[in-house]
A and B are shown apart, each in its own frame.
Chain A
Amino acid sequence: MEALIHHVVGKYNYWLYIILMMIGLYAMIAKNNLIKKLVGMNIFQTAIILFYVSIGCKKGATIPIIEEHAGMGEHAIRVADYINPLPHVLMLTAIVVSVSTFGVALALAVKIYQQYKTLEEDEILMRLREK
């Protein structure tokens, strides 16, 4: 039991991102409204962004701005003192991607609404079957 708790608490960031991701996936699969599906998709993407942000973190480290001038410092820079900024920078790009995906998807939803006058998936499918 204790080992299990240690396993869950010690790696809580991974558990959280997986729970969040599954909420998004559930919404994408189970919800009937297209906008709810889209929000699910966005939650799914956000979960991955949080995962990346959390892997750059280090205990007791600070933001990666180096105070000493190059060559002037008394001792070499210790890597463990600074968090890893690279995953965060990658996620700036991923956020741009997820925002633009959401934008394209919303634009498509508008076009679908203009065509069918509804965003409920079952009603749209019923319309299609009637044709």
Chain B
Amino acid sequence: MSQHYPVLLVTVPLLSAFIISGLSWVKKSLCFPVALVALGTSVFCAIGLLFKVLDVGVVEYHMGGWMPPWGIAYRIDLLNALVLVAVSSVALVNLVAAHKSVQRDFPEKKGIFYALYVLFAMGLMGITVTGDVFNLYVLLEIASLTAYALIALGKPDRAPLASLNYVFIGTVGACFYLLGIGYLYIMTGSLNMADIASLLPPIYHSKAVLVAFIFCMVGVCIKMAFFPLHTWLPNAYTYAPNPASSVIAPLMTKVMVYVMIRLVFSVFLPDFSFHVLHIGPALVWLACLAIIMGSLLALTQRNLKKMLTYIIVSEIGYMVGGLWLGNRLGMSGAILHILNDAIMTLCLFLAVGNIAYKVKQVGFEDLKGLFRKMPVTMAGFVAGALSVIGVPPTCGFFSKWYLISGAIQAGQYGFMAALLFSSLINIVLFFRVIEIAYFEPMNPLHGVAPKRGIIEEVPLSMLIPLLLVAVSLIVVGIYSGTIVNHIIVPVLPKGIG
């Protein structure tokens, strides 16, 4: 059984998505339990795989028994085992939290929502688990197409337009990636990552390999909303329905950062990316720009959800910059930040979802007096905010610490300054929100105007996931030393200083 974990992880949600869309015609109330079971199985398989990889090393799974260069191989090392656990658990936790608000906001589209949701999670897990570059493209498009549809489920005045914008730019990104692997195929005749990596070194100086690298990287950068290419992200995530945005925002961009790391580590190899091309410093400077511009643009927003989307843009800069610092500390920071950022973005978006469930809107003026109305939700929000700022017991501090130490070691003081600047801006951003929610008097226009001092919290099925995520921020923070030493350091390629 356990040797089939890699494939069960993907096929169980894939088949369940079909079952759910069938059930939506017959019995809508069964859709949620089936989705829950499917993603539960994925979480179980992902955790099982992580322990197996810790135990015996790299796990390979050959689809249908075809051997690697010809067949599709799933290859799981510690890096994707860690990302898999993060992706599957975020998807499961958010599914539980989404139930009530899906029930209330679009009950007639419930079946479609859960089918798309499970398919989206399956696409992301497939991207993470696969060892084949073309398979990665197909799964990337599955995840993107479901994300377009999920975003379009939002309010009809803006969501379809934002989603269509995302379709245009996202398709160009995926096409660039496809072109890049086309050039790799011309040069090596192979689509298997390990096989390409073994065939590339003698032809490192070929122009076609350089073009392949550029196309792949630009494609991935578009998909992850790296700063100058980020324009699709804020609107798409803001106008998406809350239960959908709180799974797309933490996962989609983070998985794309994983793809970039995977391409650098196991397809082009660090030797090519860092020593032959020398583009590390340039990309670190671009990352600085992403961090600073993301923070400044966040500062101009008067809507909580839109502000968070710009914070995602600047967090992408953290991870890309950390990777291209080219040393062990920076890379550890980048990989740890994939996990941490997934958790803290989920925490903040769950809190926004809870607020929107009670208050309908999340403009700054709607937040007045929320600490009295929804104390538990706001406590969760503060936990997420502290983690994004980087206050010590929370996990955000530790990845930022690794990134800053990496920047100092690499002599990239600009990156260090950008990180510190963004932390300061984050303090302003979040304390402005906390101040409005704590000190300003209650807004009488909140939904059904409540009496002063009366607590009106969301249902428990939305509160418990938020609290669970808020606690996990601190738990992951405390154990981040263990995670780095046992999971992240062993996957870093040899020959990196």
Residues of A within 8 A of B (CB): 25, 28, 34, 37, 41, 44-45, 48, 51-52, 55, 87, 90, 93-94, 97, 100-101, 104-105, 107-109, 111-112, 114-115, 124, 128
B185 adjacent to A108 (CB under 8 Å): no
B47 contact set on A, CB distance < 8 A: none
Residue B465 CB within 8 A of the other chain: no
Judging by beta carbons under 8 Å apart, are B182 and A55 in contact? yes
**What 9 pairs between A and B have smallest CB-CB spacing?**
A111-B160, A108-B164, A97-B141, A108-B160, A105-B167, A112-B160, A104-B148, A115-B156, A48-B175
**Cβ of B489 under 8 Å from chain A:** no
Max chain A C-beta neighbours (<10 A), residue from B137, B163, B178 = B178
Q: Are A87 and B185 in contact (CB under 8 A)?
A: yes
A-B contact pairs, 22 of them (CB 8 A): A25-B172, A28-B168, A41-B172, A44-B171, A45-B171, A45-B175, A55-B186, A87-B182, A90-B134, A93-B138, A97-B141, A97-B145, A97-B174, A100-B145, A108-B152, A108-B167, A111-B152, A112-B160, A112-B161, A112-B164, A115-B156, A115-B161
Cα A51 to Cα B185 in complex, Å, equals 12
- Assess A28 versus B167: contact at CB under 8 Å? Given A93-B138, A104-B148: no
The answer to whether B164 touches A51 (Cβ under 8 A) is no
- Cα of A34 to Cα of B167 in the assembled complex, Å: 12
- Is the beta-carbon distance between A111 and B156 smaller than 8 angstroms? yes
When chains A and B are docked, how far (Å) is the Cα of A93 from the Cα of B142? Answer: 12
Query: Are A97 and B179 within 8 A (Cβ)?
Result: no
Q: Once the chains are docked, how many angstroms separate the CA of A37 from the CA of B185?
A: 30
In the bound complex, how far is the Cα of B172 from the Cα of A37, in angstroms? 12
Q: Is B55's CB within 8 Å of the partner chain A?
A: no
**Across the two chains, which residue of chain B brings its CB closest to A100?**
B145
A124 to B160, CA, bound (A): 12
Q: Give complex CA distance A104, B138 in Å.
A: 16
A103 CB to closest chain B CB, in angstroms?
9
Which residues on the B side are within 8 Å of A107 (C-beta)?
152
Asked if residues A48 and B182 are in contact (CB atoms below 8 Å), the reply is: yes
**Residues in B whose Cβ lies below 8 Å from that of A104:** 145, 148-149, 167
Report B361-391 CB contacts with A as 1/0, cut-off 8 Å: 0000000000000000000000000000000
Interface residues of B (CB under 8 A from A): 134, 137-138, 141, 145, 148-149, 152, 156-158, 160-161, 163-164, 167-168, 171-172, 174-175, 178-179, 182, 185-186
Knowing A48-B179, A94-B178, A100-B145, the reply to whether A41 touches B161 (Cβ < 8 A) is no
Q: Is the interface of A mostly helix, strand, loop or mixed?
A: helix
Query: Please, which residue of chain A has its CB at the minimum distance from the CB of B138?
Result: A93
Q: Which of A37, A108, A124 sits near B163, CB closer than 8 Å?
A: A108
Interfacial chain A residues near B148, Cβ < 8 Å? 104-105, 108
Q: Which chain A positions have C-beta within 8 A of B174? A: 97
- A101 with B161: CB separation less than 8 A: no
Whole-angstrom CA separation of A100 from B185 in the bound complex:
25
Residue of B whose beta carbon sits closest to that of A93: B138
Q: Is the CB of B186 within 8 A of A28?
A: no
Select one of A28, A51, A114, A124 contacting B156, CB under 8 A.
A114
Contact of B179 among A28, A51, A90 (CB under 8 A): A51
Q: Which residues of B contact A34 (CB under 8 A)?
A: 164
Chain A contacts for B158, CB-based, 8 A:
128
Q: Looking across the interface, which residue of chain B has its beta carbon closest to that of A34?
A: B164
Q: Cβ of A55 and Cβ of B167 under 8 Å apart?
A: no
Interchain CA distance A25-B172 in the complex, whole Å: 9
Among A37, A87, A97, A124, max chain B CB count under 10 A is at A97
CA distance in complex: A34, B182 (Å): 29
Measured in the bound complex, the distance between the Cα atoms of B119 and A104 in whole Å is 15
**A101-B163 in contact given A51-B179, A55-B185 (Cβ < 8 Å):** no
Q: Once the chains bind, are A109 and B185 in contact (CB under 8 Å)?
A: no
Do A101 and B178 form a contact, CB below 8 Å, given A93-B138, A108-B167? no
Q: Which residue of A lies closest to B149 (CB)?
A: A104
Other-chain contact of B138, A37, A44, A97, A111 (Cβ < 8 Å): A97
Which residues does chain B contribute within 8 Å of A87, judged by CB atoms? Answer: 182, 185
Known: A45-B175, A87-B185. A109 touches B141 (CB 8 A): no
Q: What CA separation (Å) do A41 and B165 show in the bound complex? A: 12
Minimum Cβ distance to chain A for residue B495 (Å): 33
Are A105 and B178 neighbours in the complex by a CB distance under 8 Å?
A: no
The reply to whether A105 and B134 contact each other, CB–CB distance below 8 Å, is: no
When distances are taken between beta carbons in the complex, the residues of chain A under 8 Å from B138 are 93, 97
B164, A109: Cβ atoms closer than 8 Å: yes
Among A97, A108, A109, A115, point to the contact of B157 (Cβ < 8 A): A115
Taken together as a complex, chains A and B put the C-alpha atoms of A63 and B279 apart, in Å, by 43
Question: Contacts A108-B160, A109-B164, A111-B156; is A101 near B141 (CB within 8 Å)?
Answer: yes
B-chain residues with CB within 8 Å of residue A94 when the two chains form the complex: 137, 178
**Shortest distance from the beta carbon of A37 to any chain B beta carbon, whole Å:** 6
Chain B contacts for A93, CB-based, 8 A: 134, 138
Task: Please give the distance in Å from A99's CB to the nearest CB on chain B.
Answer: 11
- Report chain A residues within 8 Å CB of B185: 55, 87
The distance from the CB of A41 to the nearest CB of chain B, in whole angstroms, is 6
Known: A93-B134, A105-B168. 18 other contacts (CB 8 A): A41-B168, A41-B172, A44-B172, A51-B182, A87-B185, A97-B138, A100-B141, A101-B141, A104-B145, A107-B152, A108-B160, A108-B164, A108-B167, A111-B156, A111-B160, A112-B161, A115-B160, A128-B158
